[in-house]
Structure 1
Amino acid sequence: MTLRRLPVLMMSSLVLIIAVCGPWLSAVDPDTPVAGPFETSSGVHLLGTDVLGRDTLARVLVGGRALITQAAVATVLGSMIGLTVGLWVSMTRRRTAARFAVLGVDALAVFPAMLLLLVLAAGLPGGGAAVVAASVLVSVPFSVRVIRERATAIVATDHARSALARGDALTVRLRYDVLPALAPAALAEAGIRLVAAVQVAATAGFLGLGASAPTANWGRMVQENSAGITVNPLPVLVPAALLVVLAVGVTFLLDHITGPLLGERDRVGPDMVGVAR
């Protein structure tokens, strides 16, 4: 890790801590008005108040957990589905079925994320479920493509073909020949999907489609307080800045984690997978 990246990693780590632990740090009810609307910063209310006179700092502290939770759940589900489908398509002998599966995945990739979000929000109870479902549907096609391409290259190596010729069971081939070489790329892809899921969740909050009001959400805070930005800009600028740092920071954190793994994969090469058997 270079010193140039250290400040970004520290800031992103702080934002993640705020998002996860913020509700435990808030000493004020974030949903109860405590003063007039859009009051400026003071000793009592460090970030002032929002459009309804609620403490901005309290809402900032609790506004990130739902967003992070939705993005994390969507990333796990989307990555698991993408990994399963991508592996099956690359390893199955039912090539006709695999082609139809790929066509279905490609068709799903055509739909914009916001269109899926609006449709699902109209049909699913609770905004959180719609955000997770939309993020999963958006992420699966890209995950399948990445996993399929990488797994196909691994399966084509001499070592993997030797395992198939020996008659090794599918679970054995996956454990020793495919998954070890696939893991770094899968982790990197999951990181990209996490950033995309954060963006979808933040946009949903901005559109009022995330957690139901009055639950705080950084995206919704930007939208609902924009009318008073000339009076007290902090209820808009602070959550917006946190969203930017979160999206950029997650990318840097995951690059810091997966970078060495990807470098090791490139150094060793997929042909070396399974030598520890």
Structure 2
Amino acid sequence: MSGTAVERAERAEGAVPRPRAVLPWLAAAGALLVLGLALLGPFLAPHDPRARVGAAYGGPAPGLPLGTDALGRDVLSRVLCGGRRMVLTAGGATLLTSAVGGAAGVLAGLLPARVGEGVQRLFDVLAVVPPLLLVLVLAAGFPGSDLATVLAVVLATAPFSVRVLRAATARVASTGYVETARARGDGALRVARHDILPNLAGTALTEAGLRFVASLHLAATAGFLGLGGSGAAPDWGRMVSENLAGASLTVLPFLLPTLLLVTLAVCVGLLADRYAATGATA
């Protein structure tokens, strides 16, 4: 049997995994790796991320495997310590957005069309305001507060969650089994709990993944602009802006946090897209 024939036979038997089947596993591994590094990194840092340990923009040296940044601080320690706050900020904003947007979206989908449209329009007012402007205004009003960044992200992303979940709720509510449940006398709360919410779980999870990517983007932008938290505290977004000036001397201080942010956003986005595609074909 020729090599091509053997390969075809193995594919037919499932012995050779298809690239599409491998991609979600690679995305999940990448996301877990970056999340683990962000959450556990502070326990692994060899130096105080705020302390000066060498000359500015120093190259790799004994005890400093990634060199130093613009202020002579250990790049490895700052990378290890710079992701936790950003991931927690994006995660907290995603949870709040899912709670607020999910509740409002389901409510708008279950109410009469005109009332639901009114609820949607209330949130659409927020969508008109540029997300970055919300971050700037709230951060200026509450300087050094991560809570301001979280609130800004929630206000910027909630309108889109409401729109998506409202449409999904209306679609599920128009199905035959929901109409049957109403016909047999089930109350609105019972119908929502047993017939609508379980069928929205996939959509809500996919939407939450996309909101996390958007939240991560805004949190990184806030860090890049020097908003939220202490100026000396390590932050992947802030590390990029702090070290761009020394790009001609060393790229590691700004390239590593950039790669970590991109990897996390791309991996979570791929997982959300894959889950949405799987749910659509199920």
TM-score (norm 2): 0.88
Work out whether residues 207 and 272 of structure 2, in 8 Å CA contact, stay in contact via their aligned partners in 1: no
Higher mean Cα deviation, 140-149 or 11-20? Answer: 11-20
Q: Which residue is 2:57 aligned to?
A: 38
Alignment of 1:80-95 (within 5 A): 80-93=99-112
1:257 Cα deviation after fit: 5.4
For residues 130 and 92 of structure 1, the distance between their equivalents in structure 2, rounded to whole angstroms, comes to 32
Q: Greater Rg, structure 1 or structure 2?
A: 2
For residues 201 and 245 of structure 2, the distance between their equivalents in structure 1, rounded to whole angstroms, comes to 47
2:239 aligned with 1:221:
yes
For residues 199 and 237 of structure 2, the distance between their equivalents in structure 1, rounded to whole angstroms, comes to 38
Work out whether residues 191 and 254 of structure 1, in 8 Å CA contact, stay in contact via their aligned partners in 2: yes
Q: Secondary structure at the match of 1:173?
A: helix
1:256 Cα deviation after fit: 5.2
| 1:46 counterpart letter in structure 2 | P
1:96 Cα deviation after fit: 4.8
Describe the shift of the 1:99–1:9 C-alpha distance in structure 2 as closer, same or farther (beyond 3 A): closer
| 2:97 counterpart letter in structure 1 | G
Picking from 61, 85, 95, the partner of 1:66 is 85
Q: Which residue is 1:21 aligned to?
A: 40
Q: Which residue is 1:194 aligned to?
A: 212
Q: Which residue is 2:170 aligned to?
A: 152
Work out whether residues 40 and 232 of structure 1, in 8 Å CA contact, stay in contact via their aligned partners in 2: yes
Tell me the alpha carbon deviations over residues 47-77 of structure 1, each in whole angstroms, 9 at most, x when there is no partner.
1001111100000001000000000000000
Work out whether residues 143 and 227 of structure 2, in 8 Å CA contact, stay in contact via their aligned partners in 1: no
2:221 aligned with 1:206:
no
| 2:124 counterpart letter in structure 1 | D
1:251 Cα deviation after fit: 1.7
1:227 Cα deviation after fit: 1.1
For residues 171 and 123 of structure 2, the distance between their equivalents in structure 1, rounded to whole angstroms, comes to 20
Work out whether residues 15 and 246 of structure 1, in 8 Å CA contact, stay in contact via their aligned partners in 2: yes
Alignment of 1:1-277 (within 5 A): 2-93=21-112, 96-255=114-273, 260=278, 262-263=279-280, 266-267=281-282
For residues 26 and 62 of structure 2, the distance between their equivalents in structure 1, rounded to whole angstroms, comes to 28
1:254 Cα deviation after fit: 3.8
| 1:115 counterpart letter in structure 2 | L
Structure 2 residues without counterparts, runs of 5 or longer = 1-19
For residues 82 and 243 of structure 1, the distance between their equivalents in structure 2, rounded to whole angstroms, comes to 25
For residues 46 and 38 of structure 1, the distance between their equivalents in structure 2, rounded to whole angstroms, comes to 13
Work out whether residues 201 and 210 of structure 1, in 8 Å CA contact, stay in contact via their aligned partners in 2: no
Work out whether residues 126 and 211 of structure 1, in 8 Å CA contact, stay in contact via their aligned partners in 2: yes
Structure 1 residues without counterparts, runs of 5 or longer = 268-277
For residues 19 and 224 of structure 1, the distance between their equivalents in structure 2, rounded to whole angstroms, comes to 19
| 1:231 counterpart letter in structure 2 | L
| 1:110 counterpart letter in structure 2 | V
Work out whether residues 105 and 165 of structure 2, in 8 Å CA contact, stay in contact via their aligned partners in 1: yes
For residues 53 and 62 of structure 2, the distance between their equivalents in structure 1, rounded to whole angstroms, comes to 14
For residues 200 and 24 of structure 2, the distance between their equivalents in structure 1, rounded to whole angstroms, comes to 27
Aligned length: 263
Describe the shift of the 1:254–1:52 C-alpha distance in structure 2 as closer, same or farther (beyond 3 A): same
Describe the shift of the 1:258–1:4 C-alpha distance in structure 2 as closer, same or farther (beyond 3 A): closer
For residues 182 and 143 of structure 2, the distance between their equivalents in structure 1, rounded to whole angstroms, comes to 47
TM-score (norm 1): 0.89
Q: Which residue is 2:7 aligned to?
A: none
